[in-house]
Structure 1
Amino acid sequence: MKELQTDVVVIGAGTAGLSAYRNAKQFTQNVLMIESGPYGTTCARVGCMPSKLLIAAAEAAHSIEMAPAFGVHSSKPTIDGKAVMARVKSERDRFAGFVVEAVDELPDDDKIRGYAQFLDANRVQIDDHTIITAKRFVIATGSRPSYPGVFNNFGDKLVINDDVFDWDDLPKSVAVFGPGVIGLEIGQALSRLGVNVKLFGVGGAIGPLTDPVVRDYANTVFAQEFFVDTDSNVSDMMQVGDKAQLTYTDKQGEKHTEQFDYVLAATGRVPNVDKLGLENTGIKLDERGVPIADARTMQCGDSNIFIAGDASNMIPLLHEASDQGTIA
């Protein structure tokens, strides 16, 4: 087992982690960055950037559809799903490549591959090969999609947003669960690209909207384009052959059983903090096991452990992650 000592350890090489690393290097050269997965931020690989590429294609198709309202007439657009996804993946890879290049330029001695787990508040172990003692730690491990266990009944027809951006072609039909930002963006984009989309939610929530008048209006507007039920009753979720099947009750109380090529779970994300051994550090955790941190300093209590980005469960946005990394 190799043993190292350093001033700062940054766990995670995403947006928050890279920001924390670069800022720490302004004050000390003794900074180590640990990463277990592929380099490239959530935003560039599976988040906002490929989402916007898909949305851009959908906007192009939608503009042609809406053109007659402006006195501009053309034939109905033909959607080439393979070409759409080829562009999404190509540009996505280019964006992620910029991040990978930036990481490649960092000193090799500063980068350690593997999973980090706290032994105590001053030491982490990386897999079975390295123990690092440090004066400060920054947890920047990001987040991952989360969905109810019953969704596993759909088998390999269940996908998360990460999977969408690896499709080679557009499917014919998708059931989307979760009318939050991710579900709305991808659901509307797929619908505008000719995919039969049905969007289901619970409790009536839509996006981040809280004003009841605005929320109801948003429901109406989205439902003009594709099926949206933000307070749905769905049952009999299963995989039948190569399709996902479910039964839902419409607003008139009638039951419908329908099959889809895929079910997209966009039901939220959870911070990647559950396997870090935080119970060994003595820091306070909330009911979800996430460290309680001061948003002004990103410090966890009065400890030498800081947290930044999606792992903090505060504001899961790219620029916020970068700012939190800087603050930490």
Structure 2
Amino acid sequence: QPSITAVAPSVTTPIIGNTITVTAQVTNTNTTAVYLGYREGDFVPFTKILMYDDGAHNDGAAGDNVYGIDLPITNSLTQYYIYAENNNIGAFSPARAEYEYHSIVATYTTITPGDLVINEIMASNSTTAVDDDGEYEDWVELYNNSSSTLSLDNLYLSDDATDPLMWQFPSGTTIAPDSYLIVWCDKDLTQTGLHADLKFSSNGEDAVLSYDNGTVIESITFGAQTTDMGYARVPNGTGNFVIQAPTFGTNNETLSNSDFELNTDYSIYPNPVNDVININTNNGSINQIALYNLQGQQLMSLKFNGEQQSQLDLTNYTQGIYLLTINNQQTVKVIKQ
């Protein structure tokens, strides 16, 4: 009977995506009758591939009875056995394979929290953006804050913090530095593009990025959403979430502060604001103030008689970005928290 000993992987805890070598010392066998059987998971069949003693497969010298074969590691668990035979009989290692087997437990590189963020969410989309099939669907925008291309291999997206492994990103998905990635959350898994097996509730729920080893990259809980309004980080990639006009696949600060800098005649504070915002002037006067949304709709207009101080109460306004004009000349971006 063939003798199988010294069965070992070249790396005991490999990184998913790498290739290792499995070797074994085998005697009393035909040179073309040593096999590695392997599978990734408990409920899939084993695949058998030929092992070599030719000195070209990380197996030492040719003819030294050490057989080797390269094995790509694409999953966190690989189960394997060795089979050898001669003209009369075969042998397994372990002896009761395929009921028993050797195991390789692999690990993977995880993204550092903060490098990849959920940057914007739309849980009620009726007119904003369409997917490749022309459908208005929920979507989530991811943003790469880092200076490196990030691999999303082994990463999961979920809309329920108690069930974080709802949908796994396809192998090979990457996101370049300072770039955006849209995932359609519509359960249309056969459509073109990234379509996750989940749908957001406009009444509010979770958005989670995590790994099956328990590492959480991002976990967001959002409340009731307004149709066709984005739930976005301001400042882009790092800030708190506000409800504002959507910025699908682009910087959430569509209107930069530099575009709407106050001249030295005015001061407006606090900004961002929770409730009351103050408008002061030292060298001029306040005759008229108006508030607009990003669609250009006027929400408020107040007239004054040359005052140097005034206030606007924004308590009842939703979170988002607004444009405040003074005397029809000066415009400033106001962020309502």
Q: What TM-score comes out, normalization by structure 1 length?
A: 0.22
Structure that is richer in helix per residue: 1
Larger Rg: 2
Q: What TM-score comes out, normalization by structure 2 length?
A: 0.22
Q: Which has the higher contact order (CA 8 A, sep 6+)?
A: 1
